[in-house]
Structure 1
Amino acid sequence: MKINVFLDDYRKCPDGHVLAETIDECIDLLRSFDVEHLSLDHDLLSKTRNGLMLVHFMVKHHLYADRITIHSANHLGSKAMYNCFKDAQKEHKMPNNIKILRCPLPLR
């Protein structure tokens, strides 16, 4: 069964998605399920365990979704996350057929 995952500790989880409020919860879902869509925030309650840390972990451990959206409103953080994924694709560490999008969501 494929699921959709929404990583965020502030915004309301969209219908059809499973909420992960921490990167550890997100990692557990990526390891346990086939994830069709993964939507990621950068800024989480933990300043050191943020979305970019998750992206590095995902690349290192080959944990992916069919489609990944970075919805963070943090411009620099979301850009760093996006670039990390795109670099992984260029270096053949991540499949090129995975769609990666940046689509910031408002905080309210």
Structure 2
Amino acid sequence: MINVYLDDLRDCPEGFTLARTFEDAVKLFENNEVNIRTLDHDLGEDAEGFELKNGYDFVKCFCEHGLRANKIYHHTDNPVGRRNMYETLLAAQRRGFINENRI
């Protein structure tokens, strides 16, 4: 079982496996059981200046594809992004996609 830390810039804390991109995080979840998932909202831009898939995109994927983690945290500095991610998880919880104690 691993702990996943999704962030494009910050150093990865000890005990976590780093995912720098949305795609990296999806691969980790597809290939491992995850204990703790913590993520940033803003994950940078591509070479043309377009925003890359962000933490909110990952939360939507997490809910849509039934990905699982025992604990979920958001370490983003983006208050609007944090709220969107949290509200999406709450909606998934109400619909039974996420257990009550997972948010």
TM-score normalised by length of structure 2 = 0.91
Mapping 1:1-108, distance limit 5 Å = 2-46=1-45, 47-98=51-102, 100=103
For residues 36 and 57 of structure 1, the distance between their equivalents in structure 2, rounded to whole angstroms, comes to 17
What displacement does 1:76 show? 0.2
- For residues 82 and 90 of structure 1, the distance between their equivalents in structure 2, rounded to whole angstroms, comes to 12
Report the 3-state secondary structure (helix = DSSP H, G, I; strand = E; otherwise coil) of the residue aligned with 2:34.
Answer: strand
Unaligned runs of 5+ in 1: 101-108
TM-score (norm 1): 0.87
Q: Amino acid of the residue matched to residue 9 of structure 2?
A: Y
Aligned partner of residue 24 in structure 1, secondary structure: helix
Equivalent residue pairs, number = 98
Q: Give the distance between the partners of 1:30 and 1:83, measured in 2 at CA.
A: 21
Flag as ranges the 4+ runs of structure 1 deviating above 3 A: none
Taking the aligned partners of 2:98 and 2:28, their CA distance within structure 1 comes to 19
Q: For the residues of structure 1 that align with 2:19 and 2:52, how far apart are their CA atoms?
A: 17
Larger strand proportion of the pair: 1
Query: How far did residue 5 of structure 1 move?
Result: 0.6
RMSD: 0.9
Displacement of 1:48: 4.2
